[in-house]
Amino acid sequence: MLKPNSIHYLNTVLLITTIVILLFVRADKKEDIKHTDAFNQFYNIFSLETPTNLEFAGEKIPINDMEIYERYDREILTNVYWQSQTLLMIKRAARFFPIIEPILKQNGIPDDFKYLAIAESGLQNVSSPAGAVGYWQFLDKTALRYGLQVNEEVDERYHIEKSTEAACKYFKEAYLVFNNWTLAAASYNMGIEGVKRQLQQQNVTNYHDLYLNIETSRYVFRAVSFKEIMINPVKYGFHILPNHLYFPRATAKVKTEQTIPDLTVLCDKYQLNYKTLKLLNPWLRKPKLTVEQGKSYYISIPKSGGANLNRQDTLLFEQ
């Protein structure tokens, strides 16, 4: 049995321990409140006001329609708050839009179609699980239909200028069918026949009234959301210094009408490494290039390699 002095001692220890625990709990609560206040002050997620004048390729988007609003809102929220991905796309656009824009203009395609390349590939030479390849995501049969060369050594789906030209051929064909640029854009995702069939079955005449699969119903609005962000980046919290953008490299195009058994020989001639050659010419799929009689290719090299260029070697310099 505990003596009175022992009980008094235990009670004292218990009281001190309780006080210490309460002090720590109180301190933790103060720290939690401080942390929560700082979080609330510096980290905020906002819903976004939707512009009332949204349009794609000159066609006004009926944003007052609740279903249309929600489709657009999903895309703008996704792309504004996937900051790292959208930031990279803005940076890449500085490299590739100066190449894409004049090709669209020369072919009479609205400038807004450049945003489809972002929706398709993020302006990267990627391959999809379905076998679509390149900036414009052509399947091999479609690429051949629109004039691109696709074989083991040369795949022009990876060629930014030629694949953009091929995409323009498709857009013009689709516009002749639909007489509407938004439907032409949607058909790039679903196919001309697919869109035609849905218009006929649903007895409607425009993209916004169509009930479509999720991917195609999102497709045009994905492009519109990129357009809105890239035209107004600061409005959506993107602050990018000009020198942080990815600009095109100054290159010269070298014409070859002869087979090159080993592309490293070309690299040696123009004093560049194989990596640089591949980065500037991703359409070259093998370390050699077979050139059939009567055919020629233009290979991009850094403009700095121009010291070794003869006048007959180069077609043009890209600034």
Work out whether the CA dihedral 155, 161, 162, 168 comes out positive or negative. Answer: positive
Per-residue pLDDT of 201-220, as tens digits, reads 999 999 999 999 999 999 99
CA–CA dist 189, 195 (Å, integer): 9
Per-residue pLDDT of 50-94, as tens digits, reads 898 999 999 999 999 999 999 999 999 999 999 999 999 999 999
Distance of CA 113 to the CA centre of its chain: 13
Radius of gyration of the chain (CA): 29
Paired tokens of 40: 């609330």
Domain 55-244 has CATH 1.10.530.10: yes
Locate the domains of the chain by residue range: 55-244, 251-318
Per-residue pLDDT of 114-129, as tens digits, reads 999 999 999 999 998 8
Is 313 in contact with 254 (CB distance < 8 Å)? Answer: yes
pLDDT surpasses 50 at 96? yes
Mean pLDDT (the chain, rounded): 88
pTM for the model stands at 0.83
